[in-house]
Structure 1
């Protein structure tokens, strides 16, 4: 009897298993728990600055000496090029309260350091005439002199536009932006082909064999990747490999000309017009557009027609002075407009501008962060604040540097419409 009962129970169990396996599996989806970035209490910055709907802004750090471009380190901390102090500082938030714990110098004696870029655990920094690689070989969080290697040196550094920006491309090469010596070439000979250009080196500072002018008789020209860029202060690489740069074009043509060439797609061997020509369209530049002549500058044997120039992708009003930029997760671009200091009539605002991108192309723009001036008639050269750099962390938090008052602002998405 017991044996028969046991056999019966086993049979029933097998039947239940068979029935269960025959039924579709019902999955239970638990809610995904995400950590919202901390938002400190309202402060003087949130009272003064106005940020786009869906975001909130707070002071992250203050007391820096002309902070410019920034980078998020492998440790999640914000690293800042403190240009007028010739050093790199780390602004960590160990207690995760949304404010920097303090200002920690991690590298010093870097003349005019302006940009930072992390690559394979190393930090690349660019200054007035030099690109350095910083490697923390003993993992103590500080780059001692023996851990700082010069990668490129002797970049032209006389005259104006002394900032240098270095980025590592998806090809593993080192790209460096070098501004022109002066506003226009009338009465001022450029002399060095590396000026008003974006240069390309190997990661160790050599000349790549596929550079467009790698065999040029002038050894300085061999590093040139693209030219005719008066002052491209910053640039980014898109996920598809394209290079987009900001551009501060010619000056002295009045309040409205030339339009500010806010985004340029920089390509191998191309010339972008300066100082001979400029993009005249305002806003999204249509395909097939051609640049127009700046008649103040005579053409020469190397540049005979504006047909040789590649127009910008997107422009804005003159004198906005676009500097640092970064890309949002949806493809839109945020650009720090440094604003005007010498507009003839209506001064241009200093702000962070959002460039809307559709199907991989910039199509429209709108103000993202404003409130740096005391009134609309104020030039940004004398304003309360002046944004210079934009860096977006992996969690979507946006950092903006202000080289006028030494602040770093932290912008958190709180409900993007």
Structure 2
């Protein structure tokens, strides 16, 4: 097996069926960070503060009425979808990695093309990746001929007739490769845009202060460098990452990230400003004596490959590819539970929808999964 790319590969054997609700085998607390227990650190180090944006963990109450009390298929027939977000009006947007299409879902779940990025250079894990929405602007992370980039587009029109205005490139030339492109973008409660940049299959980049590869970046909505970033004049917020694909913030501002490991451990981390998370010197725990930040939870890549993530209340929900499971993590103690094991195949993303449910985005049609009739799809499930 190609160790450098195995985290997103389909398993060589079918994943074992695990009872939904079973406790996952993970490595958790008892670790320390700068003299704090990890549970205490999670609450004590949320990063820079600012006037909070609307909480991502509390959906509008008026949207939570009259929804099914079981799983519901929202959309079908998607091709290698990667990211799922909602506009300010509550309209779901989803993109397709290889086609370069950005789609809105109509009321009946029919996908409608909002726009297409014709210059996306798809291949391997590269292509049209993360989406983020701020007001009437759509932010897009994608792979181009010159590397990965972040662009901003005006989201014109209204639900059912959205279109993309002219794009502005905020950042380009990020390292890209057939794997480890990062790709997740999200606005934090401080109003800043966070961008995950993978090591692009060159692990030393993660520890190289002159490279943006293997980092989490933080920028203003216009692409500028915030004055309170850890290193003046640098977009780098944290370093020592292999391939981060999930970001979420608790109501207290604590920032979490999921990360693909290589041979041993996938990770869930609390992200602190200026933190170094050890890759490639350390995979998983054991880096504190070297000055690195240890994860709060780890899993075998066979059981995880965590990609997108969201938070509802005090519970994190992690979409897993190889593990084919939605994993919930209670942030008060970090107990883990597995949900829907094997039921929908590989899961690329999960989002908390305005109707109060979790929307799961499958990833079975990109050549690494076993596509089922109707794949890829979006499935809405009640928050457990």
Same fold (TM over 0.5): yes
Assess, with a 3 A threshold, how the Cα gap between structure 1 residues 157 and 73 changes in structure 2: closer, same or farther. Answer: same
How far has the Cα of 1:92 moved from its partner?
Answer: 2.4
* Residues 1:125 and 2:140 are matched in the alignment: yes
User: Counterpart in 2 of 1:210?
Assistant: 228
Residue correspondence of structure 1 range 20-99 to structure 2 within 5 A: 36-39=65-68, 56-93=70-107
Residue correspondence of structure 1 range 311-322 to structure 2 within 5 A: 311-319=294-302, 320-322=304-306
Summarize deviations over 1:65-103 as a string: whole Å, max 9, x none.
Answer: 11111112222221112111112101122xxxxx51x11
How far has the Cα of 1:138 moved from its partner?
Answer: 5.2
Q: Counterparts of 1:211 and 1:189 in 2: how far apart (Å)?
A: 18
Assess, with a 3 A threshold, how the Cα gap between structure 1 residues 233 and 35 changes in structure 2: closer, same or farther. Answer: closer
Aligned residue among 127, 130, 144 for 1:115: 130
User: Counterpart in 1 of 2:249?
Assistant: 237
Aligned residue among 92, 99, 112 for 1:104: 112
How far has the Cα of 1:277 moved from its partner?
Answer: 1.2
User: Counterpart in 2 of 1:295?
Assistant: none
User: Counterpart in 2 of 1:49?
Assistant: none
User: Counterpart in 2 of 1:18?
Assistant: none
Assess, with a 3 A threshold, how the Cα gap between structure 1 residues 312 and 189 changes in structure 2: closer, same or farther. Answer: closer
Summarize deviations over 1:144-198 as a string: whole Å, max 9, x none.
Answer: 4x43222222222235212412112222222110111227559x99896211110
Q: Counterparts of 1:210 and 1:124 in 2: how far apart (Å)?
A: 22
* Residues 1:413 and 2:367 are matched in the alignment: no
Summarize deviations over 1:41-74 as a string: whole Å, max 9, x none.
Answer: xxxxxxxxxxxxxx62232211111111111222
Equivalent pairs counted in the alignment come to: 302
Q: Counterparts of 2:98 and 2:63 in 1: how far apart (Å)?
A: 39
Assess, with a 3 A threshold, how the Cα gap between structure 1 residues 239 and 88 changes in structure 2: closer, same or farther. Answer: same
Summarize deviations over 1:339-360 as a string: whole Å, max 9, x none.
Answer: 1xxxxxxxxx3111111222xx
Q: Counterparts of 1:168 and 1:397 in 2: how far apart (Å)?
A: 21
User: Counterpart in 2 of 1:342?
Assistant: none
Residue correspondence of structure 1 range 317-356 to structure 2 within 5 A: 317-319=300-302, 320-328=304-312, 330-339=313-322, 349-356=323-330
Residue pair 2:194, 2:219 contacting (<8 A) in 1 also: yes
Assess, with a 3 A threshold, how the Cα gap between structure 1 residues 136 and 312 changes in structure 2: closer, same or farther. Answer: same
Residue pair 2:181, 2:243 contacting (<8 A) in 1 also: no
Q: Tell me, what secondary structure is at the counterpart of 1:127? A: strand
Q: Tell me, what secondary structure is at the counterpart of 2:226? A: coil
Whichever structure has more strand as a proportion of its residues is 2
Q: Which runs of no fewer than 5 residues in structure 2 stay unpaired?
A: 1-60, 121-126, 366-374
Q: Tell me, what secondary structure is at the counterpart of 2:103? A: strand
Is the deviation greater in 205-214 or in 81-90?
205-214
Residue pair 2:131, 2:139 contacting (<8 A) in 1 also: yes
- Greater Rg by CA: 1
Q: Tell me, what secondary structure is at the counterpart of 2:279? A: coil
Residue pair 1:250, 1:275 contacting (<8 A) in 2 also: no
How far has the Cα of 1:321 moved from its partner?
Answer: 0.6
User: Counterpart in 1 of 2:12?
Assistant: none
Residue pair 2:330, 2:336 contacting (<8 A) in 1 also: yes
Residue correspondence of structure 1 range 359-378 to structure 2 within 5 A: 362-372=333-343
User: Counterpart in 2 of 1:278?
Assistant: 283
Q: Which runs of no fewer than 5 residues in structure 1 stay unpaired?
A: 1-31, 40-54, 94-98, 216-221, 252-256, 281-289, 293-305, 340-348, 373-383
Q: Counterparts of 1:33 and 1:366 in 2: how far apart (Å)?
A: 29
User: Counterpart in 2 of 1:164?
Assistant: 183
Assess, with a 3 A threshold, how the Cα gap between structure 1 residues 413 and 385 changes in structure 2: closer, same or farther. Answer: closer
Residue pair 1:396, 1:412 contacting (<8 A) in 2 also: no
Assess, with a 3 A threshold, how the Cα gap between structure 1 residues 78 and 277 changes in structure 2: closer, same or farther. Answer: same
Q: What is the Cα-based RMSD across aligned positions, in Å?
A: 2.8
Summarize deviations over 1:16-55 as a string: whole Å, max 9, x none.
Answer: xxxxxxxxxxxxxxxx99964443xxxxxxxxxxxxxxx6
